[in-house]
Amino acid sequence: MSDTGKVWLVGAGPGDAGLFTRKGYDVLQAADVVVYDSLVGDGVLAMVPEGARCIDVGKRAANHTMPQEQIDQVLLDEALAGNRVVRLKGGDPFLFGRGGEELELLTKNNVPYEVVPGITSAIAVPAYNGIPVTHRDFTSSLHIITGHKRAGASYDIDFDALVRTKGTLVVLMGVRSLPDIVAGLTGAGMDAATPAAVLQEGTTAGQRRAVATLSTLEQAVQDAGIQAPAIIVVGDVCELAEQFAWYEKLPLAGCKVVVTRPKELVSTMSERLRTAGAEVLEIPSIATVPFDTNPALDEAIAALDTYSWIVLTSPSGADIFFDALGAAKADVRRLASCKVAALGSGTAKALAAHGIQADFVPSHATGETLGAELAKTAAPGSRILIPRAAIGGQELVEALADFTVDDVATYDTVALEGGLVDLSGQFESGRIFCAAFTSSSGVTAFAKAHPGLDMSLVQAACIGEKTRETANTLGMRTWMAAEPSIDSLLDLIVEQFTASKE
């Protein structure tokens, strides 16, 4: 916290966490206070830093948790208290997001602020549905309109002018007023056969669309069960939706998956799932906490030249080991007599970031496999150092029983509390298809972080037998990958999701 507070108006984008901007993410990670609304995607909410104080201000049609004037005052009060305040808004803060209104009070009181634009649903949602909002064979203009109006009031929209533009019309927040919008456009002379679409929850696993004409759009929306939040698109470009549709062709389109990870790390599993089309809710359920003092590790570092192998079992473990190396005023030259083994590609990448290429990576990323394969590789009489988590399983050490092994704990793993996302409600409603677990400790931490969640509702995709055993013990419904690898776990989720749609 600084003496002088500041406010950032940050656009969270249309829902897909991958569309949240890099600057928005960086600002969010430094926030003392986060003031967020209902249209911020779950994936972005999961990025809110653990130490930030969060204020839910709602802001969904006909259901405002807090009046706008009160939101303005909250931003002012928190900034005057010296906080770094992030006002996190769905889409872009200056496109029907009342960002300008929120700046007025800050400007009046000389409170500094910045605006971080976000990707607007007016562009992104049609794109995810195969609708280019401009196309030179159809139209060269785009017009974005708010469909929101006060109860009982008439629209302050010049429908005649909109019809004359012959451009694509995108109506935000207008699903509840669809009959009035259709009537306004047709009454102003727009052909009732004009192509139109209503697009629900675009860029997320809940994405659905109804494409019809102006005269049949209301019935098409009812038949498809389309609900808010959704946008309306009117114009000839809607004819291209089926031809250009791409999102639903991805194998995991419409699939929402929870992935647990240490909060310090980017999940390889998440990256692979997103590439396959899934909406990934990345929950940082574990934090790694290095020991303040570690005589055993200090002693091992002082005797590095006596080791034949150093075995690192996680990216966090690798980073902590090299931090300790630096604290001892040593560098990578001390490793000249050692070979280094890494448990999996993630750990190998962490090693590479420190200038070390792994000499050995097992065929499967399990402690048992690492130990068994390293035992066949290491020379007889080798001395092996394993700096790792205090809760590390014994399979690795047991497989290396014929060698001299120093198993040195370097950090604890601590379960984090659940974040802003209502996981219980989403598992109960079936919006989340499954949780993907790559370790037994990840399952345990997930359960500790969400004590109110009925674990019998959780479909757990597990990377291996030990992970599955832990999930079964907690009452989850489990599947297990054919092989203990990220590729096999991804194949398992695709297989199960495909089967669920048949």
Q: In one letter, which amino acid is 295?
A: P
How many Å is the maximal CA-CA distance in the chain? 89
Which of the residues 37, 42, 92, 406 is marked catalytic? Answer: 37
Say whether 256 is catalytic. no
CB atoms < 10 A from the CB of 415, how many? 15
Q: Is 88 in contact with 115 (CB distance < 8 Å)?
A: no
Return the closest-CA partner of residue 301 out of 327, 336, 325: 325
Say whether 37 is catalytic. yes
Report the side by side order of strands in the sheet with 230-234.
Answer: 142-146, 168-172, 230-234, 195-200, 208-213
Coil, strand, or helix at residue 193? coil
Which of the residues 16, 32, 59, 339 is marked catalytic? Answer: 59
Report the side by side order of strands in the sheet with 6-11.
Answer: 53-56, 33-36, 84-89, 6-11, 113-116
Spatial separation of the C-alpha atoms in residues 392 and 406, rounded to whole Å: 13
CB neighbour list of residue 304: distance below 8 Å, 6 or more residues apart: 310, 330, 334, 335, 337, 338, 385
CB neighbour list of residue 438: distance below 8 Å, 6 or more residues apart: 269, 463, 467, 486, 489
Return the closest-CA partner of residue 313 out of 335, 342, 338, 289: 342
Q: What is the DSSP string of 2-50?
A: -SS-EEEEEE-BSS-GGGS-HHHHHHHHT-SEEEE-TTS-HHHHTTS-T
Give the chain's count of helices (H) and strands (E): 19, 19
Q: Give the gyration radius of the chain's Cα atoms.
A: 27
Structure tokens at 455: 């674990």
CB neighbour list of residue 44: distance below 8 Å, 6 or more residues apart: 12, 13, 17, 20, 88
Spatial separation of the C-alpha atoms in residues 425 and 414, rounded to whole Å: 25
Q: Are strands 84-89 and 33-36 parallel, antiparallel or unpaired?
A: parallel
Q: What is the DSSP string of 46-105?
A: TTS-TT-EEEE---BTTB-SS-HHHHHHHHHHHHHTT-EEEEEESB-TTSSS-HHHHHHH
Helix ranges (DSSP H) in 149-266: 159-165, 178-187, 217-224, 241-244
Q: Is 262 in contact with 287 (CB distance < 8 Å)?
A: yes
- What is the set of active-site residues? 37, 59
